[in-house]
Amino acid sequence: MANRPYTLFCDTTCDLPEERLAKMDCKLLPLTFEIDGKPYTTADISMQEFYRRMREDAVTKTSQIAVGVCEDAFEEELKNGRDVLYLAFSSGLSGTYNSANIAKNNLMEKYPEAKIVVVDSLSASSGEGLLLIYAEQKKREGLTIDQLEAWIEVNRYKICHVFTVDDLKYLFSGGRVSRAAALAGTVLGIKPVLNVDNDGHLIPQDKVRGRKQSINRLGDMIRERKGNNENKIVTMSHGDCIEDAKYAEKMLKEIFGEDTEVVIAYTGPVIGAHSGPGTLALFFKGDYR
């Protein structure tokens, strides 16, 4: 059937504030995490408590969304005559996109008349959130499921991610940097500056000595990439470092204009477990990643 109503899905790695999500016409699928072997969801623990536990060297682990979770959520919509478009956490960082495709294939045998679209956001944290904000707006404007899929597939490459971390040990434990780099960072106060590439992978860009300098370097990267893209809204996530986030907010308004809306949220546990306390990530629309 042409142009059936459809439901927009994303996942809890989109790291948007609850009050913004409450106003949006979308549903989130949960990724889970463990702290010292005990399973949690984001509803079970505050962000402040999560990062306090990390600072006390709690062991954190994360899991992709299971096929069955995707299948159950999608089928609920299909039963009600609605199609599904799922904007998935970057395949470069998680197997969640693959889980959703398996769920899709299972369901299409049962609901051959339905449409299930799974789109790789190639994004993470509030970068995925920024893409979700735009996608949800486009859905409200009346884009069909096929039109929205096409729009996302083009525009996901414009969602730029630039970020820094305060302590390299978390990226080291996740296999993102070498032991030598992590040790040098700790001893010398070296702060890595990274971005996310077109395949959704984390890529180290620079090493800067000192926290304030690393945040300023993010500003330089934004100026290099932003081009003439209109950014009436940008997003930011932080690993329990609100003062640094406020400094970065001021910087973003200087770059994009005082009337730019800066959406600030905690870096959620699934991303934060790998990036650690003190992560600061800025997301915007630019010419290239």
The DSSP result for 265-278, as a single string, is EEPPHHHHHHH-TT
Of 156, 185, 207, which residue sits at a domain end?
Answer: 156
3-state secondary structure of 261: strand
Say how many domains are in the chain: 2
**Residue in the structure block whose two tokens are 């978390």:** 170
Task: Give 223-226's long-range contacts (Cβ < 8 A, gap of 24+).
Answer: 223/255, 225/160, 225/162, 225/284, 225/286, 225/287, 225/288, 225/289, 226/160, 226/255, 226/256, 226/284, 226/285, 226/286, 226/287
Q: Are residues 152 and 10 in the same domain?
A: yes
Domain region containing 37: 6-156
Residue 1 lies in a domain: no
Task: Tell me which DSSP letter residue 31 carries.
Answer: P
Question: Under a CB-based contact definition with an 8 Å cutoff, are residues 125 and 237 in contact?
Answer: yes
Of 109, 127, 156, which residue sits at a domain end?
Answer: 156
Report the predicted TM-score, pTM, of the whole model to 2 decimal places.
Answer: 0.94
At residue 1, the pLDDT reads 46
Distance between CA atoms of 68 and 198, rounded to whole angstroms? Answer: 29
Q: Are residues 164 and 150 in the same domain?
A: no
At residue 170, the pLDDT reads 82
Q: For the chain, list the strands marked E by DSSP.
A: 6-11, 27-29, 32-35, 38-40, 60-63, 83-88, 116-120, 159-164, 190-196, 202-209, 233-238, 261-266, 280-285
Q: Are residues 201 and 276 in the same domain?
A: yes
Distance between CA atoms of 195 and 263, rounded to whole angstroms? Answer: 19
At residue 132, the pLDDT reads 98
At residue 43, the pLDDT reads 82
Q: Are residues 77 and 176 in the same domain?
A: no
Q: Are residues 77 and 195 in the same domain?
A: no
pLDDT in tens, 223-282: 999 999 999 999 999 999 999 999 999 999 999 999 999 999 999 999 999 899 999 999
Distance between CA atoms of 114 and 28, rounded to whole angstroms? Answer: 20
Of 114, 136, 156, which residue sits at a domain end?
Answer: 156
Q: Are residues 13 and 144 in the same domain?
A: yes
Q: Are residues 102 and 71 in the same domain?
A: yes
Instruction: Give me the residues of the chain with pLDDT under 70, please.
Output: 1-2, 174-188
Q: Are residues 11 and 146 in the same domain?
A: yes
By the 10 Å C-beta count (0-12 exposed, 13-18 middle, 19+ buried), 73 is classed as buried
Q: Are residues 139 and 23 in the same domain?
A: yes
CATH number at residue 143: 3.40.50.10170
Question: Under a CB-based contact definition with an 8 Å cutoff, are residues 225 and 218 in contact?
Answer: no
3-state secondary structure of 59: coil
At residue 105, the pLDDT reads 97
